Amino acid sequence: MSTANQPRTVLITGATGGIGGALAAVYAESGTTLILQGRKAARLAELAALCEARGARVLTQVLDLRDQQALANWLAALGEHECLDLVIVNAGVNINIGPDGAGESWPDVEDLLAVNVYAAMATVAAVLPAMRVRAQGQIALISSLAAYFGLPVTPSYCASKAAIKAYGEALRGWLAGEGVRVSVVMPGYVESKMCREMPGPKPFLWSPERAASHIRRALARNQARISFPFPLNFGTWWLAVLPAALSQRILRLLGYGG
Ligand SMILES: NC(=O)c1ccc[n+]([C@@H]2O[C@H](COP(=O)([O-])OP(=O)(O)OC[C@H]3O[C@@H](n4cnc5c(N)ncnc54)[C@H](OP(=O)(O)O)[C@@H]3O)[C@@H](O)[C@H]2O)c1
């Protein structure tokens, strides 16, 4: 039987990445089915072997999430055989304005929105009806501390993560009485390809393993907002609370000015 602390069937998008891979490992245990999506088939196979060695049953899916029809088809087919206890909407991409501040290219912005916003919301739209019928299930939306206040170096990324934060908060309120739990996860800097490619200082960097264990514990408590690490969460939260002009000045002073 699935419990809050031990979901039996866990779907993770972006499992081939730093945080997604660590989440897969942290949920991999006997009696658990992991459904892992990514684009890199070799990495998915490697991760599946690791999780199977820990006793989990593993299904993998190579899929480009920008293909909305393929995403919908996959989740519809999956829903016929699997009863999803926990869906972690984790896949994401980041772009920035470039070293000389030239700006983001529009095709890159469209790709980013396709993954970070459309695919994330399409995943929820596909898995939610079955959860509502069962009056059971949990959805974790991976946003970012960058959702609190737009960083000049990553405008589209911040916008996409703010969208996911607001979406998750709204879903939680809507579904609270129906038995479907929704959490918004707002990590600070976590070691990964995306993090390495992000410009600017990276204080309080966490390992993906530490982040994944923290997320699992907080999801078991059904925490509404899972934001970490504390010092960066506190600082970025203030950026949203202070007058925007002051927050802009603080960001410039701290080296995030763009
Ligand atoms: N690391 C941080 O500091 C940090 C901080 C705050 C929030 N986050 C969020 O955490 C989540 C995971 O990021 P990460 O740090 O683990 O980054 P990552 O290592 O770069 O992993 C990104 C994942 O997203 C998948 N993905 C990207 N584009 C895709 C596409 N078009 N179709 C299918 N899958 C796609 C990648 O798949 P492939 O590898 O197969 O391409 C990969 O599995 C993201 O939502 C990110 O915004 C990260």
pLDDT, tens only, 246-255? 999 999 998 8
Q: Would you place residue 194 in the very low, low, confident or very high pLDDT band (cuts 50, 70, 90)? A: very high
- Distance between CA atoms of residues 42 and 235, nearest Å: 39
- Distance between CA atoms of residues 235 and 239, nearest Å: 7
178: left (phi over 0), alpha (psi -120 to 50) or beta: alpha
Neighbour-count burial for 60-93, b at 16+ CB within 10 Å, e otherwise? bbebebbeeeebeebbeebeeebebbbbbbbbbb
pLDDT for the residue numbered 1: 67
Q: What is the pLDDT of residues 18-69, one digit of tens each?
A: 999 999 999 999 999 999 999 999 999 999 999 999 999 999 999 999 999 9
The stretch 7-27 carries a mean pLDDT of 98
Q: Tokens for 62?
A: 């190579």
Neighbour-count burial for 116-146, b at 16+ CB within 10 Å, e otherwise? bbbbbbbbbebbbebbeeeebbbbbbbbbbb
pLDDT for the residue numbered 46: 98
- CA 247 to centroid of ligand 1, rounded, Å: 27
Per the omega criterion (within 30 degrees of 0), is the bond before 229 cis? yes
Q: Tokens for 87?
A: 């869906």
Residue 229 CB–ligand 1 contact under 6 Å: no
- Per the CB < 8 A criterion, the answer to whether 147 and 158 are in contact is yes
List residues bridging with 156 in a β-sheet: none
Ligand 1 atom nearest the C-alpha of 65 is 32
pTM exceeds 0.85? yes
Residue 38 CB–ligand 1 contact under 6 Å: yes
Q: Tokens for 1?
A: 């039987």
pLDDT for the residue numbered 3: 75
List residues bridging with 186 in a β-sheet: 227
Q: To which H or E segment does residue 150 belong? A: none
Q: Tokens for 21?
A: 């891979």
Ligand 1 atom nearest the C-alpha of 111 is 31
Residue 21 CB–ligand 1 contact under 6 Å: no
Residue 190 CB–ligand 1 contact under 6 Å: yes
Closest CA to 234 of 189, 183, 188: 188
Residue of 27, 148, 157, 189 marked active site: 157
Q: Tokens for 105?
A: 């290219």
- CA 246 to centroid of ligand 1, rounded, Å: 31
Q: 167 catalytic, yes or no?
A: no
| Annotated domain spans of the chain | 9-253
- Distance between CA atoms of residues 155 and 228, nearest Å: 21
The stretch 93-122 carries a mean pLDDT of 97
Closest CA to 95 of 187, 194, 167, 227: 194
Ligand 1 atom nearest the C-alpha of 191 is 1
Assigned CATH topology for domain 9-253: Rossmann fold (3.40.50)
- Per the CB < 8 A criterion, the answer to whether 198 and 99 are in contact is no
Residue 91 CB–ligand 1 contact under 6 Å: yes
